[in-house]
Amino acid sequence: MFAQLIANSILAAAYISLTAVGFIIIYKATHFFHFAHGIVFAIGAYSVYQFHGVLGLPFVASIPMAAVLSGFIGYLMERLVYRPLRQRGANGLVLLISSIGLYTIIQNTCSLLFGDGTQVIRRSSVGTTISIFGALLSWTQLISVLAAVFLLSVVESINRFSSIGISLRALSCDPSLAAIVGVDRDRVISIAFLIGSTLAGAGGILYALDMNMTPTMGMSALMLAIVAAIIGGSINTWAIAGGAVLLSLGQQLGTWIFGGEWRDAVAFLLLLSFLMIRNRGLGGTANPSVNM
């Protein structure tokens, strides 16, 4: 039983960590809470549904296409909404309200196009399961975890070793000084939205491969991602992933002991515990809630 709880926690952490890392990348570049990140999560899943289930494109090809489309939509949000607002001197509160407006508009558009009911991504057979240390996983679930690890590894490499990663860290620490040394703020923010939104779309796809999807699923995923980022307490990708695993394990244990209605309550109990006991999180770096 415990092995299955661990496996289920890692599965949930796969999509939570992708969404959380994407959210933090955007937050570090812009210093505001991009709530429309939640609808980008849903866009990834519904794009696979559209490409494969409606248009009949190959399933394997639909997944990367959907993730790239999610990144492009996030990029358009930055170029068409947030950048003009920044150029007009909008503060963080205005950007926050704008992001909530974007979320509402796009979520209602999804409801209009696909309906409010539950949808399922049609996929290849997942009936075959494998046993790992006593936990049963389908091949789709195992591949989802491996895909998440691969994407997180790529993002961590970009953050540590590429020029855009260096520029992003500089912009996060001191935007004024970064501008003085030649960092193009608008370019870095656009790339941050592109990468962060692609990760959110990928997270939504992994979620939908294992569970059903609705147009409103993004907000719940975003809340969990923010909690995982705060628990992780760092821009370090693996610290955030560790926060996602700890959060997921807490939810699984809470559901097992108290019932499913305690699932979200356990998540926020963990959040409050970390804010009061260790507000720098697992990674030892001040988290978004402290810096905002």
Q: Structural domain tally of the chain?
A: 1
For 236-274, the pLDDT digits (tens) are: 899 999 999 999 988 888 777 777 677 778 887 888 877
Which secondary structure element, helix H or strand E, spans residue 205, and what is its range?
helix 185-210
Q: Is 33 part of any domain?
A: yes
The packing angle between helices 217-232 and 92-114, to 10°, is 140
C-alpha span between 244 and 239 (Å, rounded) = 9
Q: Is 232 part of any domain?
A: no
Q: Which residues pair with 159 in a beta bridge?
A: none
Q: Residue 125 contacts by C-beta under 8 Å, 6 or more apart in sequence?
A: none
C-alpha span between 70 and 66 (Å, rounded) = 6
Mean pLDDT across the chain? 87
pLDDT category, 288, cuts 50, 70, 90?
low
> For residue 108, which phi and psi values (nearest 5 degrees)?
-65, -30
pLDDT above 90 covers what percent of the chain?
50
pLDDT at residue 276, rounded to an integer = 76
Buried b (16+ CB within 10 A) or exposed e, 44-66: bbbbbbbbbbeeeeeeeebbebb
Q: Is 266 part of any domain?
A: no
Q: Is 237 part of any domain?
A: no
For 159-217, the pLDDT digits (tens) are: 888 999 889 988 888 888 888 888 889 999 999 999 999 999 999 999 999 888 999 99
Over 90: is that where the pLDDT of 62 sits?
Answer: yes
pLDDT at residue 126, rounded to an integer = 47
3-state secondary structure 117-174: CCECCCCCCCCCEEEECCEEEEHHHHHHHHHHHHHHHHHHHHHHHCHHHHHHHHHHHC
Question: Which three-class secondary structure state does DSSP give residue 213?
Answer: strand
Residue with tokens 């309906």: 115
Structure tokens at 129: 């399961």
Cα–Cα separations (whole angstroms), residue 205 to 24, 52, 155: 19, 12, 18
Q: Which residues pair with 189 in a beta bridge?
A: none
pLDDT category, 120, cuts 50, 70, 90?
confident
The packing angle between helices 217-232 and 185-210, to 10°, is 110
Q: Is 207 part of any domain?
A: yes
Q: Is 29 part of any domain?
A: yes
pLDDT above 70 covers what percent of the chain?
91
> For residue 130, which phi and psi values (nearest 5 degrees)?
-125, 155
User: For residue 280, what is the DSSP state?
Assistant: T
Q: Is 288 part of any domain?
A: no
Q: Are 41 and 207 in contact (CB under 8 A)?
A: yes
Q: Is 274 part of any domain?
A: no
State the residue range of the domain holding 189. 2-215
User: For residue 234, what is the DSSP state?
Assistant: S
pLDDT at residue 289, rounded to an integer = 47
Buried b (16+ CB within 10 A) or exposed e, 198-231: bbbbbbbbbbbbbeebbbebbbbbbbbbbbbbbb
Which secondary structure element, helix H or strand E, spans residue 191, and what is its range?
helix 185-210
CA angle at 36 for the pair 211 and 51, rounded to the nearest 5°: 50
pTM of the model: 0.90
